Amino acid sequence: SAVISQKPSRDICQRGTSLTIQCQVDSQVTMMFWYRQQPGQSLTLIATANQGSEATYESGFVIDKFPISRPNLTFSTLTVSNMSPEDSSIYLCSGWWRGQGGYTFGSGTRLTVV
Amino acid sequence: TQLLEQSPQFLSIQEGENLTVYCNSSSVFSSLQWYRQEPGEGPVLLVTVVTGGEVKKLKRLTFQFGDARKDSSLHITAAQPGDTGLYLCAGAPGSGYSTLTFGKGTMLLVSP
């Protein structure tokens, strides 16, 4: 099965700064998504990363705060901008391949904003 | 908005016990997926069920999809410490690409 490499695995950042999270997939993926998760809790979809066009954001998430890029079918980035302590969370990317029954996830980025 | 109610939210049991996790909705799903997540890792897909009434087995884990495709259950027989983790159900409203609806998760702790 496909592998998604996500980095960094964790970071501690100062409020007001930005962090870019990268996801590299070892094969071309049909769809890519970005999620947020509080430890031990469920996943909240931030956006669908569209190849070559603007991401599709879910309610409550905006492009200025969470700009996303997907320049090709194997790579995507999520930036958490102008961070505040409320942005402390686990951020996960995932991929879906046509014909595959479920999603594959990266190992997550544990972000702490101080 | 489709919702998935997952229960229980937390389960602490002894090694060798059996358990069942439930995932219920008032909406029909095209398929339902179960994931397990360990600390510091992303969720890993365990199984996808697509047919109403379908039962799938993965070693000591048995997954069932309700006849009406609105609910699912995960049964673990003779739980082991290695089963510890967060179990998530996720429903897909349509076939092919679909935005998943996740349940709130069940944190399972199996003690030796």
Domains, chain B, in order of start with CATH, read 5-111 (2.60.40.10)
Contact A40 B43 (CB under 8 A): no
Asked if residue A101 has pLDDT above 90, the reply is: no
- Half-sphere exposure for A99 (CA within 13 Å, toward CB): 2
A106: contact with B, CB 8 A cutoff: yes
A98: contact with B, CB 8 A cutoff: yes
Q: What is the pLDDT of residue A84?
A: 97
Q: What is the pLDDT of residue B60?
A: 97
Nearest C-alpha in A relative to B88: A42
Q: What is the pLDDT of residue B96?
A: 64
End-to-end CA, chain A: 37
A56: contact with B, CB 8 A cutoff: no
Asked if residue A53 has pLDDT above 90, the reply is: no
Q: What is the pLDDT of residue A41?
A: 87
**Is there a domain that residue A1 lies in?**
no
**Is there a domain that residue A108 lies in?**
no
> Domain span at residue A89?
27-97
In this structure, the strands spanning A31-37 and A19-25 are unpaired
**Is there a domain that residue A38 lies in?**
yes
Looking at every residue in chain B, the average pLDDT score rounds to 93
**Residue A59: pLDDT band by 50, 70, 90 thresholds?**
very high
Contact A41 B104 (CB under 8 A): yes
Asked if residue B47 has pLDDT above 70, the reply is: yes
CATH number of the domain residue A32 falls in: 2.60.40.10
Q: Record the tokens describing residue A36, joined without a space.
A: 């947020």
Q: What is the pLDDT of residue B97?
A: 64
**Chain B residue numbers touching A94 (CB-CB < 8 A):** 42
Looking at every residue in chain A, the average pLDDT score rounds to 94
Nearest C-alpha in A relative to B92: A102
Number of domains forming the structure of chain A:
1
